Amino acid sequence: MDISGDKILSGDIEKRVETSCFGPFTFQVGVDQSEAAMLLQRVADAQVRFLSSPLSQVANRLEQEVLVSSIFSTNTIEGGTLTEEETKDALDLDPSQVQAEEQRRAVNIKHAYDIAQKSSQDPHWRLSVDFMKQIHAAITDGISHKYNQPGLIRSNRKNIVTHVGDTAHGGRYKPPQYGGDIELLLNQMVIWHNELATAEIPALMRAPLMHYYFELIHPFWDGNGRVGRVLEASVLHGAGFRYAPFAMARYYMEQIDQYFTLFNLCRKQADKKMAYPNTPFALFHLEGMLAGINRLHDRVNAMVRLLLFETRIKHLRDIKEINLRQYAILTQVMERGKPLLIDELRRAPWHEALYAKLGDKTKQRDLSKLREQELLVVDEKSLVWPGYMRSK
């Protein structure tokens, strides 16, 4: 499992490629080791702690949460309009029921994730141009576009010019236009990636570099951002990281302006022959991985606390330490996943139904006993929390 931060950058490894029409294109690590070293180690340490947590108890549920969040986020970055809840609903549909294009976008990303996870779990898997085309075909299948064809490299006619970016995020960039140049650069990028792996450059560095240079090449008419993020995740997944690589999409969405701006910043620094031009994007990626792993660790701990709490209240119900009404109250509050005002609880139709034939004293007594047992907590703001949670 490649989660080490010990061996980082033993020296910059460059590959200069002469193209037919675009001119010279240089792949380089371009990351300042002194700036990256500590952050690399922190990410590696966080991953070790995360893997030592009680992950197996909640793995399936965590995987589903990360899947929905990631698909929603990566789709939103590229203009998708589904909410997170609508994304979840789309993923639950039978494939034959998927008709709306927005739903198709979400389902396509899930298909691409499935391919990426299955492929990168094979110990013999290597990044390849065919893999990139396969991911692109999955992501853009059935999505309307004037020029795009799933799995096929872009090659511009003379009267059609592709630009990437905008002035708000550092300017516009004209990537290679000729399909032959694009195919050459993708093949050279794969060779370069293998050279980095052989030189023991860790996946935590290789992954953002693949993402960055893939976007500079911009090989397809549509879906480049989504494909680039899947490629990045695939390199990390193949190195032993789980969940966090796909959770990165949430970080990129939350930091979307910085995300887009850094592509242009690094590109311009390289054009000016500045030392270590790719450092800002690499550090940004590492910060995202660290935040993502820590957030996943916190989520696992919260899920485990919930499981233990559920087991506890079921036991209390079975031995009649709490009654069925109290158990129903706890279940309803837990299912919300967030606190509610005590008055809101009392007015809830389901709560009123529990006491339709009972008096206010019984209602008050039930709540009081739950609070005495610390199964329910009411804070200074009159917010009701289940006992496994604590107000902040």
CB 359 within 8 A of CB 346: no
The total domain count for the chain is 2
Residues 314 and 327: their CA atoms lie apart, in Å, by 8
User: Does one domain contain both 281 and 329?
Assistant: no
In a domain, 6, yes or no: no
The CATH number of residue 101's host domain is 1.10.3290.10
The torsion of the CA quartet 248, 251, 253, 257, rounded to 10 degrees, works out to -120
Q: Is 1 exposed, middle or buried (0-12, 13-18, 19+ CB in 10 A)?
A: exposed
User: Does one domain contain both 62 and 210?
Assistant: yes
Two structure tokens written together for 87: 């994304």
In a domain, 7, yes or no: no
Two structure tokens written together for 367: 């709540």
User: Does one domain contain both 194 and 278?
Assistant: yes
Two structure tokens written together for 15: 């590959």
In a domain, 310, yes or no: no
Is the pTM here over 0.75, yes or no? yes
Residues 32 and 279: their CA atoms lie apart, in Å, by 6
User: Does one domain contain both 266 and 356?
Assistant: no
User: Does one domain contain both 345 and 377?
Assistant: yes
Residues 46 and 198: their CA atoms lie apart, in Å, by 25
User: Does one domain contain both 330 and 262?
Assistant: no
358 is in which domain, residue-wise? 322-386
In a domain, 309, yes or no: no
In a domain, 3, yes or no: no
> Residue 316: what are its φ and ψ, rounded to 5°?
-60, -35
Below-50 pLDDT ranges, the chain: 1, 3-7, 10, 391-392
Please write down the HEC assignment for all residues of the chain: CCCCCCCCCCCCCCEEEECCCCCEEEECCCCCHHHHHHHHHHHHHHHHHHHCCCHHHCHHHHHHHHHHHHHHHHHHHCCCCCCHHHHHHHHHCCHHHCCCHHHHHHHHHHHHHHHHHHHHCCCCCCCCHHHHHHHHHHHHCCCCCCCCCCCCCCCCCCCCCCCECCHHHCCCECCCCCHHHHHHHHHHHHHHHHHHHHCCCCHHHHHHHHHHHHHHHCCCCCCHHHHHHHHHHHHHHHCCCCCHHHHHHHHHHHCHHHHHHHHHHHHHHHHCCCCCCCHHHHHHHHHHHHHHHHHHHHHHHHHHHHHHHHHHHHHHHHCCCCCHHHHHHHHHHHHHCCCEEHHHHHHCHHHHHHCCCCCHHHHHHHHHHHHHCCCEEECCCCEEEECCCCCC
The CATH number of residue 336's host domain is 1.10.10
CB 329 within 8 A of CB 355: no
User: Does one domain contain both 364 and 270?
Assistant: no
CB 207 within 8 A of CB 245: yes
User: Does one domain contain both 256 and 364?
Assistant: no
Looking at 266, 299, 332, which one is the last position of a domain? 299
Residue 286, CA atoms < 13 Å, CB-side half-sphere: 28
In a domain, 305, yes or no: no
Q: Residue 96: what pLDDT?
A: 82
Looking at 299, 330, 349, which one is the last position of a domain? 299
Of 136, 214, 148, 204, whose CA–CA distance to 175 is shortest? 214
In a domain, 316, yes or no: no
User: Does one domain contain both 283 and 326?
Assistant: no
Residues 366 and 370: their CA atoms lie apart, in Å, by 6
Two structure tokens written together for 378: 């009411």
Q: Residue 7: what pLDDT?
A: 47
In a domain, 278, yes or no: yes
Instruction: Dump pLDDT digits (tens) for 95-123.
Output: 788 889 999 999 999 999 999 999 999 99
Instruction: Dump pLDDT digits (tens) for 204-234.
Output: 999 999 999 999 999 999 999 999 999 999 9
How long a stretch of residues is the chain?
392
User: Does one domain contain both 218 and 94?
Assistant: yes
User: Does one domain contain both 352 and 240?
Assistant: no
User: Does one domain contain both 136 and 270?
Assistant: yes
Long-range contact pairs involving 212-216 (C-beta distance under 8 Å, separation at least 24): 212/263, 212/266, 212/278, 212/281, 213/27, 213/189, 214/132, 214/186, 214/189, 215/164, 215/263, 216/173, 216/175, 216/263, 216/267
Q: What angle is formed at CA 101 by the lines to CA 97 and CA 103, rounded to 5 degrees?
A: 55
Instruction: Dump pLDDT digits (tens) for 68-88.
Output: 999 999 999 999 999 999 999
CA 296 to chain centre: 11
